[in-house]
């Protein structure tokens, strides 16, 4: 496909999975009716962001890929509408739990699963309590609309993740996310601007299109309250914002992407020609010096 329409859905969630699935399905249908070929929903849209707190009861929200309660529904929806759906979900695999994404192709086939690699741990974002670090490595999925790479939320802060996906062939980088207000014990900083800037940097450094889908609204879980700042956006391969949502409204963003134009520009600009992998050894370490045996 020479050009494609990307849709990014910004929405609020309730504590009822069925309602969230119905709402997400409606938004996907709406996006498809507007000509979208690739449609991104926010992270863990099936529920409130329960990672605000540490409670063992929330492990019951996880499900295996096989016999999953809503993945088959979205597979059928993708096939019916002929769209590609990168879908975030809480995965149980044996005794492990992952923050995962299923890449559903336009024919309804799951092309593969990506498991979130970088897991945050701090007030309001207690993900290390729930999720094992992902073991799939980064991926570029050969979808019906082109090669798509997808990270999940905290992954979006890491240039190594974006570069890895681009090296694997990704031409579009997507990030479903759940981010908003920081509690007082974290300094109450508003991260919206830096959140957008780091991803715009990924788009420029890799000369790829990029989309981020955030949730919106205020959620209270076990007495803890957090407000998600929306601000979902789509940027082109030069870092120009093609579409941007506000901090409060539920909406769908659209942008038409010209992959052939981006390919030509990427090849001519020379970023990937002039890389020096043999000099990047410190990136394979934690301290910049010590290498594993």
Report the catalytic residues: 43, 116, 153
β-sheet bridge partners, residue 8: 40, 253
Strands, E, within the chain: which ranges?
3-10, 38-40, 85-93, 96-104, 110-115, 140-143, 146-150, 172-177, 209-214, 216-221, 224-229, 233-235, 241-244, 251-258
Contact call for residues 156 and 175 (beta carbons, < 8 A)? yes
CA angle 64, 215, 257 (to 5 degrees): 90
The rounded distance, in Å, linking the Cα atoms of 124 and 57 is 17
The rounded distance, in Å, linking the Cα atoms of 201 and 199 is 5
The rounded distance, in Å, linking the Cα atoms of 232 and 243 is 8
Residues 6+ apart with CB under 8 A from 13: 20, 42, 45, 46, 47, 48, 49, 215, 217, 219
Strands, E, within 135-208: which ranges?
140-143, 146-150, 172-177
CA angle 245, 246, 250 (to 5 degrees): 75
The rounded distance, in Å, linking the Cα atoms of 225 and 218 is 7
Q: In what order do the strands lie in the sheet with 96-104?
A: 85-93, 96-104, 110-115
Contact call for residues 5 and 106 (beta carbons, < 8 A)? no
């Amino acid at each position: 496909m020479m050009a494609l329409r990307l849709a990014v859905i910004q929405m609020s969630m309730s504590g009822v999975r069925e309602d969230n699935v119905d709402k997400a399905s409606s938004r996907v249908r709406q996006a498809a009716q507007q000509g979208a070929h690739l449609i991104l929903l926010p992270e863990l849209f099936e529920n409130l962001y329960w990672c605000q707190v540490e409670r063992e009861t929330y492990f019951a929200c996880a499900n295996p890929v096989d016999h999953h309660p809503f993945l088959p529904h979205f597979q059928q929806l993708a096939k019916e509408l002929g769209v590609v759906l990168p879908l975030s979900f809480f995965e149980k695999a044996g005794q492990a739990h992952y923050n995962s994404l299923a890449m559903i192709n336009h024919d309804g086939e799951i092309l593969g699963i990506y498991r979130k690699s970088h897991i945050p741990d701090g007030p309001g974002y207690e993900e290390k309590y729930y999720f094992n670090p992902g073991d799939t490595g980064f991926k570029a999925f050969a979808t019906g609309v082109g090669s798509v790479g997808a990270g999940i939320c905290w992954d979006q802060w890491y240039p190594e993740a974006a570069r890895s996906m681009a090296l694997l062939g990704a031409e579009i980088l997507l990030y479903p996310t759940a981010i908003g207000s920081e509690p007082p014990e974290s300094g109450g900083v508003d991260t919206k601007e830096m959140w957008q800037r780091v991803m715009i940097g990924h788009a420029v450094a890799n000369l790829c299109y990029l989309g981020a889908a955030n949730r919106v609204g205020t959620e209270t879980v076990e007495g803890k309250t957090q407000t998600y700042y929306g601000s979902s956006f789509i940027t082109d391969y030069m870092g120009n914002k093609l579409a941007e949502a506000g901090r409060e409204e539920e909406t769908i963003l659209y942008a038409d992407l010209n992959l052939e134009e981006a390919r030509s520009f990427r090849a001519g600009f020379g970023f990937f020609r002039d890389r020096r992998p043999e000099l990047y050894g410190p990136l394979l370490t934690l301290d910049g010096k010590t290498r594993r045996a």
